[in-house]
Amino acid sequence: MIDLSQIDELARRLSGLVPPALREGRDEMQDNFKAALQSGLARLDLVTREEFDVQRAVLVRTREQLESLRTLVEQLEARLAERDDARDTAPPQA
């Protein structure tokens, strides 16, 4: 979830940028900025840092397993090729 304190801070900064002549409704503008930011961020389908870190760890583990399986397949293919070569070069049996 998005850290609401950061949204509050951003809304305060935005309302601080409003020219002095328009500052009468500053609190209302700050609330409107905050609501607009929350609404916009909610539509972005964001994940939390914790969720991101978990998925990153899963990806790292999956890559390690994939590399291990690649190595195993290469070894098995080499053994199979050796066996095929030995069979092709063996003298015929009568």
With the CA atoms of 12, 14, 19 and 21 taken in that order, what torsion angle do they form, in degrees rounded to the nearest 10? -50
pLDDT in tens, 5-33: 777 887 778 777 777 766 677 777 778 88
pLDDT in tens, 42-55: 788 778 889 999 99
- 34 and 11 Cβ atoms separated by less than 8 Å: yes
Is pTM beyond 0.75? Reply is: no
Residue with more model confidence, 21 or 79: 79
Residue with tokens 């002549």: 21
